[in-house]
Structure 1
Amino acid sequence: MAESLLFGLAESFIVKLASSAVKQASLALGVYQDLQEIRDTISFIKAVLLDAEKKQHQNQELREWMRQIKRIFSKAEDIIDDFECEALQKQVVNTSGSRRKKVRRFLSSSNPIVYRLKIAHRIQHIKESLNKVAEIRDKFGLHIKESDDRVVQRRETHSHVNDSDVIGREQDKQKIVELLFDDSDDKNLSVVAIVGLGGMGKTTLAKVVFNDKSVVDSFPLKMWICVSDDFDVKNLLVKIIGSAPDQNHQENIKNFSLEQLKNRLRDILAGQKFLLVLDDVWNEDRVKWEEFRGLIPAGAQGSKVLVTSRSDTVANMMGTYTSYNLQGLSKEDSLSVFVKWAFKEGEESKHPELMEIGKDIVLKCGGLPLALRTLGSSLFLKVDIQEWKFVRDNEIWNLPQKDEDILPAIKLSYDQLPSYLKQCFACFSLFEKDFHFNSFHTIVLWEALGFLQSPNKGDTLKDIGNKFLKELRSRSFLQDFIDYGYACKFKLHDLVHDLALYVSRDEFQLLNSHSDNISENALHLSFTKNYLFGKTPLPRGLRTILFPVGVNNEAFLNTLVSRCTCLRVLQINNSGYESLPSSIGKLKHLRYLNLEDNEKLKSVPDSVCKLQNLINLDLSGCIKLQELPNGIGNLISLQQLHITTLQSKFPDNEIAKLTFLEILTLVDCDNLESLFEGIEELPSLKFLDIYSCKSLRSVPLHVIPNLESLSIGNCYRLNLSMGHDNQIAKLRLKLLALESLPQLLAFPEWLQGSVNTLQSLVIVDCDHLKDLPEWLSTMIYLKTLSIQDCPTLLSLPDGVHHLRNLEYLKIKGCPELCRRYETKVGQDWPKISHIKQVIIESPELED
């Protein structure tokens, strides 16, 4: 199934071949012409990959052809990355001045002549292999399709619904009805949208609303059309006219001109209060929507358009009056739905053992009505306990599926993803269900694997990554999404996680007790169990490996480093290793090295600093680490650095060389007394987190002119004035978090420099903080304010009512504050009543 990612891989590879770095390197090595021929051959193959993806399921030979292409692409990608490695090594050498010879020895540069011959041979082999697979392209009868604007055939929907089939949606129905009756929107065409994951029951809910008596009485004219991919304006008008009652359906309006259709619709809607349902809308082209909306005449006051879609983007593009995000059913309602489809009425009481298994099956459905119906229907009239256990113990995708079942319904959303998002989505399959993702971790992983497109001018790869996350969220793939402004956290619905496993199998593998065989085509592996380690040989072309917790297998690690030299991502967390092999420095393609929470790790070899491609190095939680590897300044691509170390002096001179460093975290560095001494500027640093650095006394913030996020916690000796009596002129913070700081008596004046930029302020466990400055109420962009466990804090600034952008306020464990601002009854409640979400938690109030 991972062959479905081929189109995106081909696209990104063609872009790489066109880069200036590859051009310069290939010219210098005399292989430029060969690479141009490879690019042309890949373009020739790419033209039919979208059609091949659709047809591969019915043709084993076609699937094997695609696998061959995948293997060749992977080898070619390694060669191109080789060029980039050499370029980075030369950059380190050329910027090292008098240390030139020392650095040359450190880098162990290869013999130029031998390297040239080796690369030329490999490129020639790639070219010949590609030519062979390209020669048989026409054998499969594939159609050329150069762009990924695929159209998927979908079901046609109707407005009829059997009320007895709908369980657990009464409250949702009432909310939608209320929105339809709300006439406060003054737009000519008022739109209400129901948004949710495939299989969530959006269409069913819309049907229930459409047929509700109060809606029928309020809207004399009701029309229902299924849109799907058919957002052709003329076809939509034909459907709308055809769905209106009392029309001459014998008349062939399909032959009408656009103007004739518009006039006919105007006649139908004139003076009528109408409800138009547009079910299953996928179109994200605003131009098409504006054209369509311009042809729909305004009806009587209160007319509404009700839209169902899987995409928030669609809802926003249509200028909705409001969007209603449909959630899963409760456990009780889920069980009721399952029982309805699994048993004849009243029969469930006769099978208590099956009901117990059924409760487990219900949990795996995650509240999705369609999943509950699918699995319930598959067990109807079956009383064999083993058949029920089979359903309970299997992933839902392994079970027989009909056209209207959950797999086609949810996979449809995946099929609609552009190729670049499919690769990113596949990465989620490497993590277990209920894993809490954060944007920092996710985006750096995508970047390390080369899944992020080249940014436009003014954008960074982080911007592209955040755009991808927002797009996945808008398509209902992500849930429990919390946007902090500077970062976000989210989870995957269990069935979406299952979908990720299904569509990425073979190439991406999550190895657990249910799947312990490594595919020969695997490029990305994640181990969840220690005992699975070393059972089968690792594929040489491996790109990603995530170690299981508690591993301490030195032989396996040595084998991995020597065999899998093309690794991009290596994660070894919570292991029993005390040291790492020096040969790790040979993994020159490595971009992501996560050694978090290795509490026995005492040293990291200096050879790690040979990894010029490294963009993320995580040593946080390595509480016995004596010192950072020598030469860390040579990691010139490093963007994220997370540190725990016992050393007393911070390597300021080395850190100053990391000109791309954006994120720096220091945790449990108890011996460090100062940071950034002698550093003139860290221009790229945007995120600085300092926790439990108990000897730290000062942090000169003025050397970080572009700092956006600052978090400080449990640093008892830190002088929070930072040596600045007044505001820091260049400081433009978006987030500030202060936690467990008993020395904090009053807010530092330097924060005033961020009054026009701060969006989130978090204050936790600051026992002696007595008041907040009045200038805090001038922070006009502040969106979230959280104050917890600050018992001596008596009030908020008098001008808090001026914070009109404040959307979230939480006060917890602050007795006096909780009393004064208690919801609706506190003496100062009017000052904060404009805030959308207010949470007041106090033991006294709870009693």
Structure 2
Amino acid sequence: MAESFVFHIAESLLQKLASYVSEEASRAYDVYEDLQVIKGTLSIVKGVLLDAEEKKEQKHGLREWLMQIQNVCFDAEDVLDGFECQNLRKQVVKASGSTRMKVGHFFSSSNSLVFRLSMARQIKHVRCRLDKIAADGNKFGLERISVDHRLVQRREMTYSHIDASGVIGRDNDREEIIKLLMQPHPHGDGDGDKSVCVIPIVGLGGMGKTTLAKLVFNDKRIDELFQLKMWVCVSDDFDIRQIIIKIINCASASTSAPSIALAHHESINNLDIEQLQSQLRHKLSGQTYLLVLDDIWNDNRAKWIELNDLIKVGAVGSKILVTTRSDSIASMVGTVPSYVLEGLSVENCLSLFVKWAFKEGEEKKYPNLVDIGKEMVKKCQGVPLAVRTLGSSLFLNFDLERWEFVRDHEIWNLNQKKDDILPALKLSYDQMPSYLRQCFAYFSLFPKDFGHIGGHIAHLWLALGLLQSGVGSQKIENIARQYIDELHSRSFLEDFMDFGNLYFFKIHDLVHDLALYVAKGELLVVNSHTHNIPEQVRHLSIVEIDSFSHALFPKSRRVRTILFPVDGVGVDSEALLDTWIARYKCLRVLDLSDSTFETLPDSISKLEHLRALHVTNNCKIKRLPHSVCKLQNLQFLSLRGCMELETLPKGLGMLISLEQLYITTKQSILSEDEFASLRNLQYLSFEYCDNLKFLFRGVQIPSLEVLLIQSCGRLESLPLHFLPKLEVLFVIQCEMLNLSLNNESPIQRLRLKLLYLEHFPRQQALPHWIQGAADTLQTLSILNCHSLKMLPEWLTTMTRLKTLHIVNCPQLLSLPSDMHHLTALEVLIIDGCPELCRKCQPQSGVCWSFIAHIKCVCIGETKGKLHSQMLSRLRLRLRD
């Protein structure tokens, strides 16, 4: 990889070793001593890995040594996972009961003996390899470095001067910030607390936050508003002492002659912290000031409060303007909502590009190159620094072929100078903890503009062992959500839509370029231009299949991931699949979406490490081999869109690790005992199961949290009382399903957080069982219910309801009069309901007073339609 993740890989392996060493299994298989030695050696090696990663470019052979460490760690992980496989097999045997004879041969004592010998041999081999590699590392003279002291590339210090005439497209943003600076403190100055108004500007690296702050800082109107103006570049080192010194120096420079300010600057460094804080308070006391704190990375609230307490001695009206890439930091420091800086328009991007690619007026000589430039700037998505990077790379170069090359290739393929876009974005990447950097790299496996479902990327991370164990009983999916939230906070994600258990987002194109940049070497996207796959590659994403051949794929045994993320692109060669199964025994993720096999080979059971198997949208497959049920590690199985699948494999209940299951089948009756055995099942989907009449008539699925039922035309009932932990329910286009059949007295309490009902043309009223979720429901979506005439008054008892969508319900004429009781409601979207839309028009509609308190109301507006389309798109991609 361009970036090395060896430290995190070693750390993850040490966690596994710690758990296995303490288990009786390690003693039972005579490998306890070897595992202890491996653990000790790896602990020593881990201590110098960060130093090795920093010096790998300067010391010959160090990169290869790191690669050897990485390889032996992965191989050791495979061996340890073998213990887990054996443990899961024993659990299945124990739970098999009457089926013990059916699986007895597979779990025979002879196999256990073979396993014992094989594991002992493999563990000893790993120990010998690691010992040799550790000894080889001594020649590099490496030092122990902790995570907290690793070197991180720092941004250059900024200054306040700017030539405003050279800035393009930020006039409106400047006016908006100045308006905020002119407004009084929204919370006043009550109780003698002279708190300072803090205005955060937040956005992606390279978006122009510092440039905007400079424009504001140098505007003449600011001089009239504030007695003092101070510019402090904070960057990643939030050192209170140094920040105090910078503020004092800035305050002195704005009120003294330059020579006096310089002398003061030289003497102030000798003061202790007590003297410094006294001078700071003296300089600011009673003054109306503007303080710009540029480029804040500190997320330690205690440090921020300490600084804030020192500087809130100014006069009423003082303001602090903060720039940061982190939304969470902006929320921490801001006293007003963050100003989110958006990208430039295409027209402004082109103007900026021409400014950097040509000398003034020179572009008129090369209209053909300007036309190519118009195409180039689209990939920059409005980020000024990306536009400048492209323009600068072509300055004084008028070669048509070179321009076409830059247009047709990703930005990450271009040479990058220190202040270009990728180094700027990489600052944000470098600030991440190592576990998050590794997870981020896997976004490179998906195409640009790919709509990610949170559960999809979370299960990829989980299948590959990238999620760190949580504290106490924290669920692993909650850890994945924390990772997503942190990436979102760092401005790496966009179009984020949050529906609780389900969430949708995209990756900014430039952030995708960054993922490609840091992932190259071990993660590879295969397209028609790929002529060779290096043996070191472990993770493959196949987006084009035009030039497929057996020879293309590496003969190594290292591949862990094979993805087909593009709809309609799949493998149709059974021989190639046989090759993959025979060669890549340690596959964790196998995506056979859009393939055209009539069946899978029985040898699929050899992939005992497999965590995720996608057979989505195979239009020919009629059966699955029963051997697929021997994959005890399998956590994710998708059979969605397999319209010819006649039956599910026997023994499905043996997949005791299964968490997500997506089903399309011609079966009319399901084996409920099999589903009852899936004790870890959390997500379950039934789509296009045309013959299915009943679900869960006699068994509980106690762990199920998300249920999607779509286009099951004969389904008659849905007994929710068998699903005690259900939080998300999608029911779409099930014509025979009577939603009101579950009406009970008293109404059963439910834990639903999201309910989505679509296409129930005969439904005249909402079913009463929804009342059971009055204390938990957060999102309610009602779409294409053409006979729905009224919303019940009990809807206003949904005290936690945050989002309500009502789309294409033309006979719905009014809203409950007590809508004002829905104090948690933040988003209301009504579209395709002509009379109701008329009554809910702002100010003039008779129902407007019911909903005027809601923060975001979209009545037949484009924004509302887009939001509803996004939700529909979300449920359509639930297969992933």
TM-score band by shorter chain is over 0.9
Q: Provide the C-alpha distance between the structure 2 equivalents of 1:730 and 1:31, rounded to a whole number of angstroms.
A: 51
Pairing 1:564–2:573 present: no
Partner of 1:641: helix, strand, or coil? strand
Cα offset for 1:131? 1.1
Aligned position for 2:294 = 279
After superposition, the Cα gap between the structure-2 partners of 1:696 and 1:107, relative to the gap in structure 1 and judged at 3 Å, is farther
TM-score (norm 2): 0.93
Q: Provide the C-alpha distance between the structure 2 equivalents of 1:419 and 1:532, rounded to a whole number of angstroms.
A: 36
Aligned position for 1:460 = 475
Cα offset for 1:108? 6.3
Partner of 1:95: helix, strand, or coil? helix
Cα offset for 1:398? 2.2
Q: Provide the C-alpha distance between the structure 1 equivalents of 2:534 and 2:335, rounded to a whole number of angstroms.
A: 47
How many matched pairs?
Answer: 844
Pairing 1:266–2:275 present: no
Structure 2 contact 638–663 (Cα < 8 Å) conserved? yes
Partner of 2:427: helix, strand, or coil? helix
Indicate which of 687, 694, 708 corresponds to 1:689.
Answer: 708
AA aligned to 1:271 is G
Cα offset for 1:249? 3.3
Runs of 4+ with deviation above 6 angstroms: none
Aligned position for 1:202 = 209
1:222-241 equivalent positions in 2, closer than 5 A: 222-241=229-248
Structure 1 residue runs of 5 or longer lacking an equivalent are none
Q: Provide the C-alpha distance between the structure 2 equivalents of 1:20 and 1:806, rounded to a whole number of angstroms.
A: 48
Q: Provide the C-alpha distance between the structure 2 equivalents of 1:36 and 1:189, rounded to a whole number of angstroms.
A: 57
Partner of 1:811: helix, strand, or coil? strand
Indicate which of 215, 234, 246 corresponds to 2:255.
Answer: 246
1:504-653 equivalent positions in 2, closer than 5 A: 504-533=519-548, 534-538=550-554, 539-547=556-564, 549-653=569-673
Q: Provide the C-alpha distance between the structure 1 equivalents of 2:601 and 2:21, rounded to a whole number of angstroms.
A: 31
Structure 2 contact 20–26 (Cα < 8 Å) conserved? no
1:616-765 equivalent positions in 2, closer than 5 A: 616-679=636-699, 681-726=700-745, 728-765=747-784
Task: String of CA shifts for 1:190-217, please: whole Å, max 9, x gaps.
Answer: 2111111111111111111111222221
Structure 1 contact 726–750 (Cα < 8 Å) conserved? no
Task: String of CA shifts for 1:388-429, please: whole Å, max 9, x gaps.
Answer: 112212222222222111121111111111111012111111
Indicate which of 198, 212, 219 corresponds to 2:219.
Answer: 212
AA aligned to 1:140 is F
Cα offset for 1:142? 2.5
AA aligned to 1:411 is K
Partner of 1:676: helix, strand, or coil? coil
AA aligned to 1:543 is R
Q: Provide the C-alpha distance between the structure 2 equivalents of 1:528 and 1:465, rounded to a whole number of angstroms.
A: 25
After superposition, the Cα gap between the structure-2 partners of 1:535 and 1:823, relative to the gap in structure 1 and judged at 3 Å, is farther
Structure 1 contact 638–660 (Cα < 8 Å) conserved? yes
After superposition, the Cα gap between the structure-2 partners of 1:3 and 1:391, relative to the gap in structure 1 and judged at 3 Å, is closer
Q: Provide the C-alpha distance between the structure 2 equivalents of 1:72 and 1:20, rounded to a whole number of angstroms.
A: 17
Task: String of CA shifts for 1:651-683, please: whole Å, max 9, x gaps.
Answer: 21100111111111111111000000210x222
After superposition, the Cα gap between the structure-2 partners of 1:121 and 1:813, relative to the gap in structure 1 and judged at 3 Å, is same
AA aligned to 1:268 is K
Structure 2 contact 780–805 (Cα < 8 Å) conserved? yes
Aligned position for 1:53 = 53
Q: Provide the C-alpha distance between the structure 1 equivalents of 2:292 and 2:386, rounded to a whole number of angstroms.
A: 25
After superposition, the Cα gap between the structure-2 partners of 1:836 and 1:392, relative to the gap in structure 1 and judged at 3 Å, is same
Structure 2 contact 589–611 (Cα < 8 Å) conserved? yes
Indicate which of 816, 819, 830 corresponds to 1:797.
Answer: 816
Structure 2 contact 533–552 (Cα < 8 Å) conserved? yes
Structure 2 residue runs of 5 or longer lacking an equivalent are 190-194, 866-880
Q: Provide the C-alpha distance between the structure 2 equivalents of 1:385 and 1:185, rounded to a whole number of angstroms.
A: 58
TM-score (norm 1): 0.97
Q: Provide the C-alpha distance between the structure 1 equivalents of 2:387 and 2:402, rounded to a whole number of angstroms.
A: 16
Pairing 1:15–2:7 present: no
Pairing 1:334–2:341 present: no
Cα offset for 1:541? 1.5
Cα offset for 1:727? 5.5
Structure 1 contact 152–229 (Cα < 8 Å) conserved? no
AA aligned to 2:161 is H
AA aligned to 1:202 is K
Structure 1 contact 241–265 (Cα < 8 Å) conserved? yes
Partner of 1:712: helix, strand, or coil? strand
Q: Cα RMSD over matched residues?
A: 1.8
Pairing 1:470–2:485 present: yes
Partner of 2:593: helix, strand, or coil? coil
AA aligned to 1:249 is L
1:334-413 equivalent positions in 2, closer than 5 A: 334-413=349-428
Pairing 1:290–2:301 present: no
Aligned position for 1:185 = 187
Stretch of structure 1 that moved more, 164-173 or 546-555: 546-555
Structure 2 contact 814–847 (Cα < 8 Å) conserved? no
Structure 1 contact 813–842 (Cα < 8 Å) conserved? no
Q: Provide the C-alpha distance between the structure 1 equivalents of 2:639 and 2:109, rounded to a whole number of angstroms.
A: 27
Partner of 1:573: helix, strand, or coil? coil
Partner of 2:15: helix, strand, or coil? helix
Q: Provide the C-alpha distance between the structure 1 equivalents of 2:335 and 2:502, rounded to a whole number of angstroms.
A: 26
Partner of 2:525: helix, strand, or coil? strand
After superposition, the Cα gap between the structure-2 partners of 1:516 and 1:803, relative to the gap in structure 1 and judged at 3 Å, is farther
Q: Provide the C-alpha distance between the structure 2 equivalents of 1:193 and 1:390, rounded to a whole number of angstroms.
A: 39
Aligned position for 1:451 = 466
Indicate which of 440, 448, 456 corresponds to 1:425.
Answer: 440
After superposition, the Cα gap between the structure-2 partners of 1:345 and 1:2, relative to the gap in structure 1 and judged at 3 Å, is closer
Q: Provide the C-alpha distance between the structure 2 equivalents of 1:476 and 1:385, rounded to a whole number of angstroms.
A: 35
Partner of 2:743: helix, strand, or coil? coil
AA aligned to 1:809 is L
1:468-507 equivalent positions in 2, closer than 5 A: 468-507=483-522
Aligned position for 2:869 = none
Cα offset for 1:321? 2.2
After superposition, the Cα gap between the structure-2 partners of 1:277 and 1:270, relative to the gap in structure 1 and judged at 3 Å, is same
Structure 2 contact 532–553 (Cα < 8 Å) conserved? no
After superposition, the Cα gap between the structure-2 partners of 1:213 and 1:833, relative to the gap in structure 1 and judged at 3 Å, is farther
Aligned position for 2:874 = none
AA aligned to 2:504 is K
Cα offset for 1:447? 0.6
After superposition, the Cα gap between the structure-2 partners of 1:514 and 1:836, relative to the gap in structure 1 and judged at 3 Å, is farther
Cα offset for 1:726? 3.5
Cα offset for 1:488? 1.1
Task: String of CA shifts for 1:103-138, please: whole Å, max 9, x gaps.
Answer: 222556762332222111111111111111111323
After superposition, the Cα gap between the structure-2 partners of 1:74 and 1:711, relative to the gap in structure 1 and judged at 3 Å, is same
AA aligned to 2:808 is D
Task: String of CA shifts for 1:216-235, please: whole Å, max 9, x gaps.
Answer: 21112111111112211111
Q: Provide the C-alpha distance between the structure 2 equivalents of 1:704 and 1:228, rounded to a whole number of angstroms.
A: 50
Q: Provide the C-alpha distance between the structure 2 equivalents of 1:292 and 1:35, rounded to a whole number of angstroms.
A: 49
Structure 1 contact 727–752 (Cα < 8 Å) conserved? no
Structure 1 contact 627–646 (Cα < 8 Å) conserved? yes
Q: Provide the C-alpha distance between the structure 1 equivalents of 2:622 and 2:197, rounded to a whole number of angstroms.
A: 64
Structure 1 contact 666–689 (Cα < 8 Å) conserved? yes
